[in-house]
A and B are shown apart, each in its own frame.
Chain A
Amino acid sequence: NAGVTQTPKFRVLKTGQSMTLLCAQDMNHEYMYWYRQDPGMGLRLIHYSVGEGTTAKGEVPDGYNVSRLKKQNFLLGLESAAPSQTSVYFCASSGTGATEAFFGQGTRLTVV
C-alpha cells in the first residue's frame, strides 16, 4: 500500500532556482495539504486543497504556489527559491469529516 508518496526525498537548490514537489495519494482522499517543518518546530500549513481543481492558502503561503489538476496529485511549486525556504516539506491527505491526515515521508529541501 503506497498511501502518500512525495517526490523527491531530498533536493538542494540555488537561490533563485525553481522547482516542483509532487505529492501523490492512492486513497481517493478529497483533502490534501502541504506543510513545512523547521528545526524544532511544528508543522505549518502552506496551502491545501478540498478537492480536485481547488486550492486555498494556509498559514505561510508566500513564495509558494500549488495546483491540484488531478484528485490524486497535489503539486507544490517554488518559483524563486530563497534560503528561508530551507525546510522539510510534508504532504498529507485526508478524507471528509474530522478524520486524521495521512502523511508522506517528507522532502528535505536546502536552498543555498
Chain B
Amino acid sequence: AQKITQTQPGMFVQEKEAVTLDCTYDTSDPSYGLFWYKQPSSGEMIFLIYQGSYDQQNATEGRYSLNFQKARKSANLVISASQLGDSAMYFCAMREAYSSASKIIFGSGTRLSIRP
C-alpha cells in the first residue's frame, strides 16, 4: 500500500547551516514520483522538487536537493545554506504512476524553524 512517513515533527536549525528533512515511503508500484512541498505560515502549498523512481541522479533545484535512496525507500530533502525564509512546514508526497489511480498522498510534515 502507498504510504509516506515523516518522523521529524519539528526541527530547529541555525541560519546558514544545511538541514536534512527525512522522508520514507512504501509502494509496490515500480514507477512513482516523489515530491517535496513547502507551506509557509501564509498557508499556500509551494512545490519545491521532484524525483522520479527511474531517475539515475538525485534531483536538485537551487538550494534544494533530494537524497534519493531507492533501496532504502527514502527521499530526504536537503536544504543548503538555510535562510530565515526557509522557516515553514515541509511535506513529502508520493504519486504512483500506475496503481492507486495516481493518488497523491502526503506525509504528516516537518516544521522547520531557522534561528538567526
Contacts and interface: CB of A to CB of B under 8 A. Distances in A.
Interface of A: 31, 33, 35, 41-45, 48, 50, 56, 58-59, 88, 90, 92, 94, 96-103, 105-106
Interface residues of B, number: 27
B106 A100 contact: no
Contacts, number: 66
B50 to A, nearest CB: 6
A99 B6 CA distance: 21
B104 A42 contact: no
Which of A43, A90, A98, A100 counts the most chain B CB atoms within 10 A? A98
Contacts of A100: 33, 35, 47, 50, 95
Interface string B29-40: 001110101000
A98 B33 contact: yes
A88 B93 CA distance: 18
Contacts of B50: 99-100
A101 B104 contact: yes
Interface in B90-116: 91, 93, 95-97, 101-109
